[in-house]
Amino acid sequence: MNNTMLGDLLFPNLEHTTEYYESKYPLRRIDQEAKVCRLGPSPTGFIHLGNLYGALVDERLSHQSGGSFYLRIEDTDDKRKVDGAIDKIIDGLAFFDIRFDEGVNKEGELGDYGPYTQSERVHIYHAFAKKLVNEGKAYPCFLTEDEISKIRAEQENNKKTPGIYGDYAKSRFLSFDEIKSKIEAGEEYVLRLKSCVLPPDAYEDSSQVIKVRVNDGIRGSLEMPANFQDVVLLKKNGIPTYHFAHVIDDHLMRTTHVVRGAEWLSTLPIHVELFNTLGFDLPVYCHTAQLMKLDENGNKRKLSKREDPELSLNFYREEGYHPLAVKEYLLTILNSDFEEWRADHLELSCDEFPFKLEKMSNSGALFDLNKLKDISKDVLFRLNAEALFDFLKRWSEEFRPDLDFMFTDKDYLLQILDLGRNDAKPRKDFISASQMVEFISYFFDKLFRIEDEMSIEVKGYEKQILTMYLDTYNHDDSQEQWFEKIREIAGQLGYALKPKDYKKNPDQYKGHVGHVSSVIRIALVGRSTSPDVWAIQQIMGEQQAKARFQKYCQEL
Ligand code: GLU
C-alpha cells in the first residue's frame, strides 16, 4: 500500500506539515534547570481540591525554577463542556494564588505556543496524524461497535487478551482501494495507531513481554508492560483522544514536566509508545498520589465528589478558609518536610520553601480537615489585624453581605481582631472567616445573645453580683484594680477568694471568685468562655459594657 496516498486521502486539505509546527513552536530558550508545566483541565465547571493539589505542584516546579506555567483547556470531549467553566477554573485557582504565565486567560490567551484550547488545535493534530499514516504507523479503522463486541466475545471465548490489535485489527489489512471505496460510501472510521508490540499472551515466557521503563519524577523508576493495542488517535469526528492530544500538545508546547493524577498511570505505556513513534523526547512524568481521607472506621478511602463536600474548592471559600492556609496545608501533604521548615522560618513566605518532587509521597495523600484547621490557626495568627480585617471583609462581601455593619467602624473591628494576640501567651483561635464571625459576634449588639447558662453556684445571686459590680465600676481601672474589685464582691457575698479554698471546704462557701467573674462574663459576652473580660470591656467601651450588665439585670 502506498501510505502517502492514504495520508492524502484521509487528510487532503492540510495547510501545514509537521515541520512547520516544529519550527513554529521552537524549543524554549530557558535555563536547563527551568521547568515548563501545564494544567490541562476539562471545562466541566467542577474544580476540586485534587486539581488545586496538582496545580500547586506545577506552580511550584515552574516558578521555583524560573520556568513557565500555562493553562491548557482540554475540551475534546463535548459532553463534558459547561458554559462559564473556564472563568470558574481561572478564578477558583487565582483565589488560591495559582497564577499562570501563559495559556488561556479571561481575555483570550497569552504566549507563543498556542492556541491553548484543544478544540482549536485540530489542524495540528491532523498534521501529525497524517505523518503517522504516511509512515505506515496509523490507519483508518472501520470496525463498528457491533463488530468490536463480537471480537471481544471471540477473545473471551478463546481466552485471549481483549482489544483491537494484531490480527483482530481487521482494518489494518485493507487495501488502499478498499479504504477509498469505504470512505466514498460514507463509512465512518476512527484513526488507530498501528502498534508493533505483541500482546502478552503471544509470548511463552512472561519475562519476554516487552516492557517500558519510565523514570517518574515522583515515583522513581517504573516498569510496565508495553502497550500493544491499536489505540484510537482520532475519533470518528476527527477530534483527538486524550492520548493523542496530550502527546502532541506537551511536545509542541515544550512541556518539561507532566504533572497529573495517578489515574493516568495505567495508560502511561500508550503515551510512551506515542512519544516514541512520533520521535519526540519524553517529558518527565510526575504522577501525583490520590487524595484520601480516613473514614469513620479509620480506613483510607478516596475523597469523593458525592460524599465529601471538602473536595470542592467552593467549600473552602464559603467557609472562609484563608487561601494561604489551604496552600500551606497542601504543602504539608505535598512535602513531608514543609512543617519543619515552616517552624524554622516563621517570617518567610511559603513560596520560599524549597519544594522537591522527590519528597512527594506516592501512596495516597491523606487529607485531614482538623489538620487544616490547626494550620489555619497558625496562618491567621501570623497575619496582622489589618490583613485579617481585609480578609474578613472580602469574605463577608461575597458570602455574608448581611454582616456589613461589622465593618463600619474599622478601628473597633481592628481592636477586636487583635485582642489577646500580643499577649505573652498569645491567642491563636481564629480558623476561618465564618468561625471568626461567630467567635467575635458578641462585640456587636445585633449578633449578641446569651448562649450559656449561669452556673449553679451563682443561681439567685446574679442580680446582686451585677449590681455590686456596676456600683463599683470604673472604666479607668487597671486590670489588677478590676480584678481586686471582683475579689471584694466575692468575699462580701461569701465566695472563696481562691478556687482551691472552695475545693477544700465546699460547705463554707457559695462558690469561688471564678463563679462570680463568670456572671460578669456571661452578662457581657453571653458565653462562659471568652478572652479576658477586662480587655473586652476596654474595647467595647464603658457605655456598651454597662448597658449589657443593666440589660441582664432587667431581664432576670
Ligand atoms: N484533561 C485531563 C483531566 O481533566 C488532564 C490530564 C492531564 O493533566 O494530563 O483529567
Residue nearest to ligand 1 atom 3, measured at CA = 41
State the distance from the centre of ligand 1 to the C-alpha of 261, rounded, in angstroms: 8
**39: helix, strand or coil:** strand
Beta bridge partners of 222: 214
**CA–CA separation, 521 vs 442, rounded Å?**
11
Cα(227) to centroid of ligand 1, in Å?
20
**Residues 70 and 60 sit within 8 Å (Cβ to Cβ):** no
pLDDT tens for each residue of the chain, 556 residues long: 789 999 999 999 999 999 999 999 999 999 999 999 999 999 987 788 989 999 999 999 999 999 999 999 999 987 666 778 899 999 999 999 999 999 999 999 999 999 999 999 999 999 999 999 999 999 999 999 999 999 999 999 999 999 999 999 999 999 999 999 999 999 999 999 999 898 888 888 888 889 999 999 999 999 999 999 999 999 999 999 999 999 999 999 999 999 999 999 999 999 999 999 999 999 999 999 988 888 888 888 988 888 888 888 999 999 999 999 999 999 999 998 999 999 999 999 999 999 999 899 877 788 899 999 999 999 999 999 999 999 999 999 999 999 999 999 999 999 999 998 888 888 899 999 999 999 999 999 999 999 999 999 999 999 999 999 999 999 999 999 999 999 999 999 999 999 999 999 999 999 999 999 999 999 999 999 999 999 999 999 999 999 999 999 998 8
Element (DSSP H or E) covering residue 521: helix 513-525
If you take atom 9 of ligand 1, which residue's CA is the nearest one?
A: 260
Q: For residue 135, what pLDDT is reported?
A: 97
- Smallest CA separation from ligand 1 atom 5, residue: 40
Residue whose C-alpha cell is 505573652: 424
List phi, psi (to 5°) of 430.
-85, 135
CA 73 from centroid of its chain's CA atoms: 18
Nearest CA to ligand 1 atom 4: 41
Identify residue 87 by its one-letter amino acid code.
D
Strands (DSSP E) contained in 310-468 are 365-366
CB 400 within 8 A of CB 446: no
Distance 527 CA to ligand 1 centre (A): 50
264 alpha carbon to ligand 1 midpoint, in Å? 8
Residue 494's pLDDT is: 96
Distance (Å, rounded) from C-alpha 505 to C-alpha 491?
A: 15
Predicted local distance difference test score (pLDDT) of residue 80: 66
Nearest residue (CA) to ligand 1, atom 10: 41
Distance 172 CA to ligand 1 centre (A): 30
Residue 504 carries which side chain, given as an amino acid letter?
A: K
Ligand 1 pocket test: pick from 36, 37, 42, 287 the residue with the most ligand atoms within 8 Å of its Cβ: 42
| Position in ligand 1 atom list of the atom nearest CA 74 | 1
Q: Which residues line ligand 1 (CB under 6 A)?
A: 40-42, 74, 246, 260
pTM tops 0.85: yes
200 CA → ligand 1 middle, Å = 28
Extract the C-alpha cell encoding 410: 474599622
* E strands in 345-456: 365-366
